[in-house]
Amino acid sequence: MDLQLSGRVAVVTGASKGIGLAVVRTFLEEGARVVAASRKSSAELDALAGTDLVHVPVDLTDPEAPGQVVARAVEEFGGLDVLVNNAGGPPPGAKLPRFGFLTPTDADWREMFEFNLFSAVRAIRAAVPVMLGRGGGAIVNVSSGVARQPAAMNVDYSAAKAGLNNLTKALSEEYGPQGIRVNTVSPGPVLTAWWTEEGGAADIIAGQAGTDRESVITTVAPQMMGLTTGRLVDPQEIADVVALLASPRSGSTTGTEFAVDGGFLKAV
């Protein structure tokens, strides 16, 4: 199926690995021109280098950074059609999961909201005027299933993602009549470095459960999170939905949340 993304200009944040990298790769395969934003590049992102890809090294917790990324898209490719707010998860230097409400400090809460909510707010604020000048566009916010199914861990992260969901609905109402569609993709646990790297989520949970990293990834985490599929989500499965929502073929889809979570969310 032709997603009609050829020649369109996309900004993808958190683009050097995991979901963001899969989104960048998918957009390039569909013929889009991509500005990839992340604190640093990666071997996998460098392997995609070409005339249709520009990497912008930024720390998105810097209030000026999201606007700089959008400006770079205009400078390099003449405009912006698609914005994917994927950057999120543990802020720089933080490790998740954190257990219990009393664990995160005020500073932890501020850093979490800066990275997972305010960076998206600022990117959207910069992108909207550019998109309006081109007659419309598509914004996809990458949220999380815990925005609607929180638990007694990562409470600050869950709250920030709930805010992102609410923001998506508000933006879709305001800008839908002007041609900008805004949607959310809510992953469950995804098999990325957040889980697999040394000291990451799998190691932290393994320490709590008295097991090892591999057992957490293959068995403990899917059981703990009630995943119907019995496995963590593959990043490409998220990227495929993001690409469809970015496509003009989803022209009547806005203000909607798509769960790609292995059956994590159980509510009707």
Whole-angstrom distance, CA of residue 228 vs CA of residue 201:
20
73 and 52 share one domain: yes
Angle at 14 between CA 10 and CA 17, to 5 degrees: 105
List of residues 6+ apart from 113 with CB closer than 8 A = 156, 159, 160, 163
Residue 195 has pLDDT above 90, yes or no: no
Instruction: Please check whether residues 181 and 206 belong to one and the same domain.
Output: no
In-domain check, residue 268: no
Domain contains 165: yes
Residue 250 belongs to a domain with what CATH number? Answer: 3.40.50.720
172 lies in the same domain as 47: yes
Domain that holds residue 107: 9-188+234-259
Residues 137 and 195 in one domain: no
Do both 201 and 106 map to the same domain? no
Residues 91 and 116 in one domain: yes
Mean pLDDT of 181-209: 91
175 a catalytic residue: no
Whether residue 158 contacts residue 150, with contact meaning beta carbons closer than 8 Å, is answered with: yes
DSSP code for 58: -
* Average pLDDT along the chain: 96
Other CB atoms closer than 10 Å to residue 232's CB: what's the count? 24
For residue 16, the tally of other CB atoms under 10 A from its CB is: 22
pLDDT for res 142:
98
Tens of pLDDT, residue by residue over 39-98, are: 999 999 999 999 999 999 999 999 999 999 999 999 999 999 999 999 999 998 888 889
The tally of domains found in the chain comes to 2
Same structural domain, 204 and 245: no
- Please indicate, yes or no, whether residues 199 and 247 belong to a single structural domain of this protein: no
Q: Distance (Å, rounded) from C-alpha 180 to C-alpha 206?
A: 43
Is residue 117 very low, low, confident or very high in pLDDT (cuts 50, 70, 90)? very high
Alpha-carbon dihedral sign for residues 127, 129, 132, 133: negative
4 lies in a domain? no
Residue 58 lies in a domain: yes
Does residue 266 fall inside a structural domain?
no
137 shares its domain with 253: yes
pLDDT tens by residue, 25-42: 999 999 999 999 999 999
User: Out of 113, 157, 175, 195, which one is annotated catalytic?
Assistant: 157
- Whether residue 18 is contained in a domain is answered as yes
Whether 180 and 195 map to the same domain: the answer is: no
Q: What digits encode the pLDDT tens for the residues 141-162?
A: 999 999 999 889 899 999 999 9
Within-domain flag for 179: yes
- By the 10 Å C-beta count (0-12 exposed, 13-18 middle, 19+ buried), 215 is classed as middle
Is 120 contained in some domain? yes
Contact 26, 234 (CB under 8 A): no
One-letter amino acid at 224 equals: M
pLDDT of 197 over the 90 cut: no
H-helix or E-strand containing 161?
Answer: helix 155-175
- Regarding whether 182 and 199 lie in a shared domain, the answer is no
215 & 244 share domain = no
| Euclidean distance between CA atoms 128 and 70, whole angstroms | 10
Q: One-letter amino acid identity for 203?
A: D
